[in-house]
Amino acid sequence: GAFFNGVLATVLATPCTAPFLAPALGFAFTQTAAVIVLMFVTVALGLAFPYVALSWNPKLLRFLPKPGPWMEKFKVAMGFPMLATGVWLFTVSIEYYGGRVLWFGIFLIVIAMAAWVFGEFFQRGTGRRGLALGIAGALTLGGVVFGLEGQMQWRTPTDPLAAKAGVVQDFPGGIRWHRWSPEAVAKAREAGQPVLVDFTAKWCATCIWNKKTSIDIESVGAVMADKNFKAFRADYTRRPDYITEELRDRGRAGVPLVLVFPADKTREPEMLPELLTADTVLNALNGAVD
């Protein structure tokens, strides 16, 4: 229905805050409860405005494509990008459960089958609707109890620090990334090194775009090597509390966030915009050592 379409649109819009929401929400979280509520109401009104405008003035509907059989084909075609997004987001769960994520995939297939049985034989069917409802319920219950609880053990994700603590990773562009912590950044600056910190997450499309086009590239890697930069990456995929606190201290409600710290400890770090270009990053790096 219309209500759940709105819920879906809101949920899909929330993982990333770039490029416009990050400053607004970062400001809101530093204000009183009333201002926070007002900011979120304003965001909600903006999301709802197109629907309200079309309902208030139906004449505007003439600017929309005319309905017809093409809409059914368009709906099916748009399902493929949604499936692709689902596969991409599914890979994030590997970060939490490793090989056990296979059972999450099986659970999703079982839930899809239950939804099909419910829609085809309960909502549209005329006979044996009770049987259809029972089968759909049994599939759902079995998927949760056996798949999620029994095999996947979704309540006990893996410890992300157990296998990766202290590991230095080489990424495209020749940049050696270290695990971020405030203490590590302070230690690097004590040693006279300028620092680049990238707050990112595997589910953040803008973060991935920034890395591919503006951070993990050869020109940036060359400047960082020449200027003796130390690079840190703060992985916000699992929303750890200590990174959440750092983001809020920096006036941000989420990722992406890139900071460039000069070697001079008396200077404040430069906060780069949410959507980056290579020139923006290069200028910040060069400015940190001038």
Query: Over the stretch 80-116, which tens digit does the pLDDT of each residue have?
Result: 988 888 888 788 888 788 888 899 999 999 999 999 9
Query: Mind listing the pLDDT tens digit for each residue in 140-151?
Result: 999 999 999 999
Query: Mind listing the pLDDT tens digit for each residue in 67-81?
Result: 899 999 998 999 898
Cα(203)–Cα(169) distance, rounded to whole angstroms? 20
Query: Mind listing the pLDDT tens digit for each residue in 217-237?
Result: 999 999 999 999 999 999 998
Q: Which residue has the tokens 């201002």?
A: 35
Query: Mind listing the pLDDT tens digit for each residue in 25-57?
Result: 666 766 788 888 888 888 888 888 988 899 899
Q: Where does 169-288 sit in CATH, by number?
A: 3.40.30.10
Q: What is the pTM of this model?
A: 0.67
Q: Where are the domains of the chain?
A: 169-288
Q: Where are the alpha helices (DSSP H) in 147-258?
A: 182-190, 205-210, 218-226, 241-249
Query: Mind listing the pLDDT tens digit for each residue in 171-222?
Result: 666 899 999 999 999 999 999 999 999 999 988 888 999 999 999 999 999 9
Tell whether the model's pLDDT for residue 1 goes beyond 80.
Answer: no
Count CA atoms within 13 Å of residue 103 on its CB side.
18
Range 197-211 burial, b when 16+ CB lie within 10 A, else e: bbbbbbbbebbbebb
At a CB cut-off of 8 Å and minimum separation 6, what does 188 contact?
195, 230, 232
Cα(162)–Cα(140) distance, rounded to whole angstroms? 33
- Hey, which residues does 195 pair with through a beta bridge? 230, 261
Looking at the chain, the whole-number percentage of residues with pLDDT higher than 90 is 49
54 class by beta-carbon count within 10 Å (0-12 exposed, 13-18 middle, 19+ buried): middle
